[in-house]
Amino acid sequence: MESDCRIPGACCRPRVLVFHALFWGLVSLRVFGAALLGDEKSSAAVKPEVAPCWQQEEFVVITDCLQCNAFQTRSWSACEPTGYVERVNCSRSNRDDHKSCRSAVMEEHLFWKFEAAMLALTALFGTLVVVRQHWLDRLAAEKVRRQIESI
């Protein structure tokens, strides 16, 4: 039994209202919880890291973008984001540093993996559409057959 709603066509059943309250409660918990965790992390005593020289001044690339080996991956923080690193020389401080980079080979590999995934999804969903269309056609033909038999 529906209660009297102020909005025409809106469903005001208690179950729907409970689901809405639960949904928005979880959303607000997620948002405010993330904000609280972010504040908690920033207030903790953390050793301040010095920004690399290539972020603060002009630099020249000494060694092109190369894949990190196992030792470099464990020991250099620059290898973590992409697995590739290039050596740079900062012009003002004349200091050598390592900078994470994106390899053209890696980018091409990721591009073709994405293309293959999209092609596979296209084939899968195309097949699903054809199978469903045949199933619906068979149901319609069965319904027409039953209607004709009942006459």
Kindly report the pTM of this predicted structure: 0.46
Domain assignment present for 52:
no
Beta-bridged to residue 60, according to DSSP, are 89
- Judge if 4 and 36 occupy the same domain: yes
Is residue 51, in this structure, part of any structural domain at all? no
Distance CA 80, CA 50 (A): 17
**Residue whose entry in the numeric block shows the structure tokens 């195309």:** 126
The answer to whether position 38 is within a domain reads yes
Residue 67 CB contacts under 8 Å (≥ 6 apart), including other chains: 83, 84, 103
Mean pLDDT of the chain: 80
For residue 139, pLDDT beyond 60 = yes
- Same domain, yes or no: 96 and 130: no
In a domain, 107, yes or no: no
Domain assignment of residue 150, yes or no: no
CATH number at residue 78: 3.30.720.220
Between residues 87 and 9, which one has the greater pLDDT? 87
Range with the poorest average pLDDT among 31-35, 54-58, 77-81:
31-35
Predicted confidence (pLDDT) at residue 1 exceeds the cutoff of 60: no
Residue 38 has pLDDT above 70, yes or no: no
What 3-state class would DSSP assign to 34? helix
Domain of residue 8, residue span: 1-46
For residue 95, being part of any structural domain is answered with yes
